[in-house]
Amino acid sequence: MTPRPGKARTLKHGRPDREPGLKRANFGHGPGLPTLLLLPQFLILVFFFFIPSLRALMQSVLLSDPFGNNVHFVWFDNFTALFANGEYRQSIVTTLWFTVAQNVITLAVAVVLAFATDRVVRARSVYRTVILLPYAIAPAIAGILWAFLFNPVVGPLAHMLHALGIGWDPNRNPSDALRLVIMAASWKHICYNYIFLAVGLLAVPASLMEAAAVDGAGPIRRFFLIALPMLGPTVFFLAVMNFIYGFFETFAIIDAVTHGGPAGATNILVYKVYVDGFVNLDLGSSAAQSVLLMTFALICTLLQFRYFDHKVNYGV
Amino acid sequence: MNRKTALIAALFGVLAFAAPAQAARVEVQWWHAMSGVLGDRLNELVEKFNASQDKYTVVAVAKGNYDEVTNGVIAAYRAKRPPEMVQIAERGYMTMLLSGAIVPVQDLMDQKAYKIDWPDFIKPVASFWSYKGRMSAMPFNSSTPIFWYNKEHFRKAGFDKPADTWQELEAQLYAIKAKGVSECGSVLPGDFYWSLLENYSAINNQPYGTLANGFDGLGTEFVYNKTKVVSQVARLKKWLDDGVLQIAGQGFSPEQLFTSGRCSTFVNSTASHGNIERNAKIDWSATFLPHENDINPPLNSTIGGGAIWVMKGHTPERYDAVAAFLDFVAQPETQVWWHGVTGYVPATNKAYGLARERGYYKDHPTREIAVLQLSRGTPNENSRGFRFGNFVQTMLAQRTEVEAVFTGQKQPQQAMDDAVKRGNEILRQFEKLNAGKDTEADGKPK
């Protein structure tokens, strides 16, 4: 049998020949120490994931007043009401648009930036610092910044668009509003993508790139044929992370930029969960929505792993 | 003085300060939603109370906006650690009243033998915050929308002041725009549903919902899709399309567009007095909200703002402190002071009389508009106020539908029909949840 790449090689002197760097951690005998080390993470999961998830599941089949003094068990009424609701279906479509667009833009821009700074020799760290800065800004602040820059009445960038003859108005044009939140959400997340890609590029062997250059491949060709395939696992990881980001972490941006409007145009699922739960105090519906949102995210992530994962080559 | 005596003196000093503090002061918490100028004033109020006696300490805790305060209280109540007092906006009235988590203030004050002159509270305030004739929460910051305008813009366009009716006002705003006095006649307030739809209905004697706008029971239904509200929405849409009305949008407040002199008029709460006085570089004034030309006389507007609710589940000593504080809030002197520094309406006739007596309105004429507008005419079923369950939720549904008109996705009639339909479904859910509670919440302790 020929040895396959990525797996342990043939035995030498009766012992598996391990690659340098891939050492197995040794925790001594018995389950004591590993359990102890896993405990903090486990407790965090229990208190911040499992218990709230169970509570959400329970709440989703109840109709209750916010103070919890009147509780009715309503079976799946909260769920059926959601699917009968046109606003909710629109929210699903909006969320898909928002998440996919945000994912594509974020990855594309981050890849270009990572490749560009990889080629820069002088003051590389300055460029990197500048690119990473947005990550240090709180989402709500970032949102306000974008809302202000593109405010049709006072925003300087909106004035530039108006001067170009573009009738930009996110207050009255639903697609402008959606574009604005996609831009704001992507901008905030580009740095996260960038840092992984920049590090990933460092791992691309210089010898391969040099060999290709000697063979006459230009930078763009070298990028698409060598660097990008080697970044496959990173890109896949980032796609999953962006997806989760779009689904769960963008509500502060939506809240600051559009409040989900106009007319529900940017009311993505996670923002709707927030508004129905914390503004409308409709806890049953909000819980049902968060259960559905979690299920959607789970299905999408599984699909990504099932289909996209096959196309990623980890064996480099 | 040698070291030893100094030490002893210091020790006595510490004891002298520590002893009464430990023995007497009962501390109670008050969670509120005031920020900016209003937050500073609220803290001053609490400090005044704390300094006025030596038994109780009220600790004011800012918990964010009204929604965040409500959520904080709900979470605290569910964790069985609610604050003693909480400021809740008028839209949360039914939720609080039927929550089973509160002590009606009139009961508390009776129990603690404080004499509050309840009939002296000005009518729209008293009728809004009371249930079956008894006050459920202590009126604190009551406001009503008034019409603010830029005097210079009106002068330049050849007008003395804004017209009383929507029809004439429309002509004025179009003239202001046409003459190039300002590029924006008016700016849409962030809470336009409150000032331009709900108060519009009250002033113009239009029914908003059945059962006296919800005052007579939980079975109420919205009816504003069959009233002048539809043409009001159409009017706003037309103004927007013609560039006479602007939406400030996120990242910038409507108030800033007015105070910077960009927009000539602005409908907003009387509570903006503090901010506008501080920020405006223009020659501004204010007047009554406009009314339709076929409504004569226009009725009163209705109140918004918040009140102080008392939460259940505390010790008698703490309720002593709460009652003492609420009594302090209800005093005419406190009311006059609060009215003056914030622009909120004085809650009692006594306080209003006191402010007049002192000639306060001669120097601050715009402060009186809200009171005069609130007490204009004889309140009827359409103008008494709005008391709907899940009121925030029905308002947001309506808001989304109005926005659909502004974006051109729906016609005004269609949008209002949809808003009423959605609103009624939400009302039915509240009714289902609180079925049979109507009699329990009698204002009497169970």
With the C-alpha atoms ordered A111, A116, A118, A123, is the resulting torsion angle positive or negative?
negative
Dihedral, B238, B239, B240, B241 alpha carbons, nearest 10: 50
- Residues of chain B in contact with residue A271, where contact means CB-CB under 8 angstroms, are none
- As a whole number of angstroms, the distance between CA B98 and CA A80 comes to 27
Are B338 and B45 contacting, i.e. CB atoms less than 8 angstroms apart? yes
| Window B:372-411, CB contacts with A under 8 Å | 390, 392-393, 396, 400-401, 403-404, 406-409
Phi and psi (nearest 5°) for B173?
-65, -40
CA distance B66 to chain A (A): 9
**Tell me, what amino acid is at A98?**
F
Calculate the alpha carbon distances from B356 to B46, B140, B422 in Å. 25, 20, 45
- As a whole number of angstroms, the distance between CA A133 and CA B265 comes to 41
CB-CB under 8 Å, A261 with B400: yes
Give the confidence band of B9 by pLDDT, cuts at 50, 70, 90: low
| Window A:4-63, CB contacts with B under 8 Å | 63
Of these ranges, A81-90, B126-135, B411-420, the one predicted with the greatest mean pLDDT is B411-420
| Window A:168-207, CB contacts with B under 8 Å | 170-174
CB-CB under 8 Å, B71 with A172: no
Name the average pLDDT for chain B.
88
pLDDT of residue A231: 86
Higher pLDDT, B416 or A313: B416
CB-CB under 8 Å, B403 with A66: no
CA distance A54 to chain B (A): 17
Q: For an interface test with A, give the residue of B63, B94, B312, B407 to mutate (most A CBs within 10 A).
A: B407
Give the confidence band of B2 by pLDDT, cuts at 50, 70, 90: low
Are B183 and B253 contacting, i.e. CB atoms less than 8 angstroms apart? no
Name the average pLDDT for chain A.
84
Give the confidence band of A5 by pLDDT, cuts at 50, 70, 90: very low
What average pLDDT does range A26-43 have in this prediction?
Answer: 85
- As a whole number of angstroms, the distance between CA B245 and CA B250 comes to 16
pLDDT of residue B105: 93
- As a whole number of angstroms, the distance between CA B344 and CA B273 comes to 8
Give the confidence band of B20 by pLDDT, cuts at 50, 70, 90: very low
What average pLDDT does range B35-41 have in this prediction?
Answer: 87
Q: Flag whether residue A239 sits within 8 Å of chain B, measured between CB atoms.
A: no
Calculate the alpha carbon distances from A68 to A32, A282, A310, B95, B281 in Å. 42, 11, 48, 12, 49
Q: Flag whether residue B150 sits within 8 Å of chain A, measured between CB atoms.
A: no
Q: Flag whether residue A70 sits within 8 Å of chain B, measured between CB atoms.
A: yes
Higher pLDDT, B289 or B20: B289
What average pLDDT does range A222-228 have in this prediction?
Answer: 84
Q: Is the whole-model pTM more than 0.90?
A: no
Give the confidence band of B186 by pLDDT, cuts at 50, 70, 90: very high
Q: Is the pLDDT of residue B47 over 70?
A: yes
pLDDT of residue A9: 44
CA distance B403 to chain A (A): 5
